[in-house]
Chains A and B, each alone.
Chain A
Amino acid sequence: QVQLVQSGSELKKPGASVKVSCKASGYTFTSYPTNWVRQAPGQGLEWVGWINTNTGNPTYAQGFAGRFVFSLDTSVSTAYLQIAGLEAEDTAIYYCVTVVPNSGVGWGQGTLVTVSS
């Protein structure tokens, strides 16, 4: 069963950076991509993009290229989302999500990133 465990909540000042981790278990990490999804307060779900966990190649959704960077540490089955130059509008819960065909769609528990001075 797909299990994704994310790092804890973060409080950052505008202009700072944050790195969110997502540790996978229950499947072969490098066989299926890790997606990232954002949910701003009171809003719906928004796809940020995905990273090919075999090659490390990232794909960013429209509006997320530049300050958002995906990375991996395959030795510990972990994906990372780093956001640079944080803005108040980046305040949201960030989820990692993985689809394992014929097995299901796993979600991390979410990481709340709060940007406030």
Chain B
Amino acid sequence: QAVVTQEPSLTLSPGETVTLTCGSSTGAVTSGHYPCWFQQKPGQAPTTLIYGTINKESWTPARFSGSLLGGKAALTLSGAQPEDEADYYCLLSYSGTWVFGGGTKLTVL
């Protein structure tokens, strides 16, 4: 089974920009893996930020964007806000089998 890797933790200051990445043990991540990104705050269910590599939900703030970067899926946060402090999970699909990354704990301080 594939392993999906994310940075365990990242810290940044308000207003800064950060890129979270999502790699696959099987090789380069492509749009065929239908990369998705989810945000989860303590005590809450995950919410979808990005699906299908680049598509945003209606509630996704404009400062979040998805892409493919260097063989990985990427989530870029441009101009972090304190409310962006959360856990972020990526999801890759392998011919219908889902594999989640271990999550990135993003701290904004």
Q: How many residues in A have their beta carbons less than 8 Å from beta carbons of B? A: 23
Within 8 A of B (CB), among A24-82: 35, 37, 44-47, 50, 59, 61-62
Complex interface: chain A residues within 8 A of B48 (CB): 104-107
Complex interface: chain B residues within 8 A of A46 (CB): 100
**Interface size of B as a range:** 20 to 34
Interface residues of A, dominant DSSP: strand
Interface residues of B (CB under 8 A from A): 1, 34, 36, 38, 45-48, 51-52, 55, 57-58, 87, 89, 91, 96-103
Complex interface: chain A residues within 8 A of B55 (CB): 102, 104
- Cβ B36 vs Cβ A107 within 8 A: no
Query: When A99-B51, A110-B45 are in contact, do A47 and B36 touch as well, CB less than 8 Å?
Result: no
- Cβ B103 vs Cβ A107 within 8 A: no
Nearest opposing residue in chain A for B100, CB measure: A45
Q: A37-B98, A59-B97 are in contact. List 7 more A-B contacts (CB 8 A).
A: A37-B100, A45-B38, A45-B100, A104-B58, A105-B48, A107-B48, A109-B45
Complex interface: chain B residues within 8 A of A102 (CB): 55
